[in-house]
Amino acid sequence: MMLITAVEPRRKSLSALFIDGEFAVNIDTETLLKSGFRAGQEISDEQLHELIQASDSRRASEKALYLLERRSYSQKELADKISRVASREAAEAAAQHMADIGLVNDEDYAKRLAADLLCRKGYSASRTRRELQQKGIDRELAEQIIEEAVPDPVEKIKEILRKKYGGMPQDEKGRRRSIAALQRLGYFWDDIRTAINEMENEDE
């Protein structure tokens, strides 16, 4: 058995646990209060481990709810964020729980994100696919959502050129800049060239 020699308050609702005169671990204060452990009491290795796990789980759940109040996340993205304040195991369990109770839904999240990237930001299908997968969206789900939402790339390129440049710039420097911007959005050169040719034919 070990002796809890002191409990000291810390920031962010944590309490420092000192065992046998030395700092041992920071524990969620609410979890510690519910456990009943106080300075002067003995604690076993098993009890300390259970206390740390309970603290970790509570912190992960609190962080999950805090994050979801501000914006939506994919399950993987949420777990990644939570893992900054809790163990990976606790973070993934909390993210799974949020999914189980309906606060996290990868499909809904992916549909909203894809619509924003494809329509508002003008990203290509390939770049949108990369963005979704970086957020932890399953590849097959990402493909399905993009296939349903993606506009015709040539028409989208023409729309971007008209909106941002008032059409295809006539000077060489302006043309290179606009083409580079489209390529950064993920559009292929064949689609860019087709869009430029169609716009030039329309102007004629």
Would you say the pTM of this structure is higher than 0.85? no
Confidence at residue 63, expressed as pLDDT on a 0 to 100 scale: 95
Instruction: Give the domain extent around 162.
Output: 153-203
E strand or H helix that includes residue 145: helix 139-149
DSSP code, position 86: S
pLDDT tens track of the chain, all 204 residues?
Answer: 899 999 999 988 899 999 999 999 999 999 999 999 999 999 999 999 999 999 999 999 999 999 999 999 999 999 999 999 999 999 999 999 999 999 999 999 999 999 999 989 999 999 999 999 999 999 999 999 999 988 899 999 999 999 888 888 888 888 899 999 999 999 999 999 999 898 888 765
Confidence at residue 204, expressed as pLDDT on a 0 to 100 scale: 57
d(CA 5, CA 14): 17
Nearest to 17 by CA among 50, 46, 35, 39: 39
d(CA 19, CA 42): 9
DSSP code, position 84: T
The total domain count for the chain is 3
Confidence at residue 172, expressed as pLDDT on a 0 to 100 scale: 86
CATH number, position 183: 1.10.10
Confidence at residue 108, expressed as pLDDT on a 0 to 100 scale: 95
Q: How many other C-beta atoms lie within 10 A of the C-beta of residue 140?
A: 8
Is residue 40 located within the same domain as residue 95?
yes
Do 94 and 64 meet the contact criterion of CB atoms below 8 Å apart?
A: yes
CATH number, position 30: 1.10.10.10
d(CA 79, CA 87): 10
d(CA 179, CA 177): 6
Report which residue type is found at 161: L
Do 122 and 156 meet the contact criterion of CB atoms below 8 Å apart?
A: yes
Token readout for 16 is 């420092």
Is residue 157 located within the same domain as residue 123?
no
Token readout for 107 is 């499909």
Confidence at residue 168, expressed as pLDDT on a 0 to 100 scale: 82
